[in-house]
Amino acid sequence: MQNRYAADIGDFVKLSMLRHLAPGFKLGVLWWLYPDEDHNADGKHVAYLDRPQLWRMKDPTLYDKLNLIVKSESRSVESLQGANLFEEVVYHSVKLPTAGDAAGRRVARLEWFKEAVSAVEGCNLLFLDPDNGLETKNYRSGSAKSGKSVALSELKVLQRPNRTIVVYHHHTRMAGGNIVELAYWGDRLADLGFRVDALRAGVGTARAFFLLDATPELQERAAFFAQHWGDKVTWHPALCSRKP
């Protein structure tokens, strides 16, 4: 997540999803906040706000609040947090450390993550919002761009009995396409000891939300959310292809 993305079309779908899932749960949002970059035009995808006849019906309250944030030129996670989108929520919005050398970043990342774990300790539903998603093939915790990803080891630390974790993943150009990539991550996450389902959203760019250890109630809500969004979102339950 970067502040410049706040209230874009990607935020609309992910926040609407969380609003469908969260009632009755204590939600913890780990923004995985990465410093704003300016090398591309990402984050400008707010044209959906000019087409209320197409988008507003998906979540009118959320749509209006995001529209207000954009129109007031106050796009940031702080503005999202102040919009009162959830009944019971804890946010962790400390920026990820990017300064210094690899060794320094590695130590700072460990401290950042320790604080994040502590902040959401009492939450039974977590949402992790990294800039890119799950760790890359050559992921290193001290690398300059490591803050864009969630390490699989970090997911494991956050796992608790009776806790569901939802983690954002931006689809890559994996050979075989998005469905193959969903299956790939389904197997890898299952190897860590998670039960894995996913929502895939073809809104703006293709993105996935992996639901780890989802309760039956949350699985039903996720399936309903996909149905509500029509051809924009699809539900992919029980992703692991390996027999137990």
pLDDT in tens, 7-51: 899 999 999 999 999 999 999 999 988 777 565 554 478 999 999
| Chain segment 59-86, per-residue pLDDT in tens | 999 999 999 999 998 899 899 999 999 9
pLDDT over 70 percentage in the chain? 95
Asked if residue 158 has pLDDT above 70, the reply is yes
12 C-beta neighbours (distance < 10 Å), count: 25
Q: Is the pLDDT of residue 244 over 80?
A: no
Q: Does the reported pTM lie above 0.85?
A: yes
Order of all β-strands in the sheet with 233-236 = 89-92, 27-30, 125-128, 164-170, 205-212, 196-203, 233-236
The DSSP 8-state label assigned to residue 136 in this structure reads P
Check residue 237 and give its pLDDT.
Answer: 96
Reply yes or no on whether the pLDDT at 102 is more than 60.
Answer: yes
Q: What angle do CA 243, 132, 12 make, to 5 degrees?
A: 95
Summarize the confidence of residues 107-115 as an average pLDDT: 93
Q: pLDDT, tens digit, for every residue of 173-209?
A: 888 889 999 999 999 999 999 999 999 999 878 999 9
Cα separation, 16 vs 64, in Å, equals 12
Q: Residue 243: is its pLDDT beyond 70?
A: no
pLDDT for 242 equals 60
Closest CA to 215 of 22, 6, 45, 15: 22
Residue 241: predicted pLDDT: 62
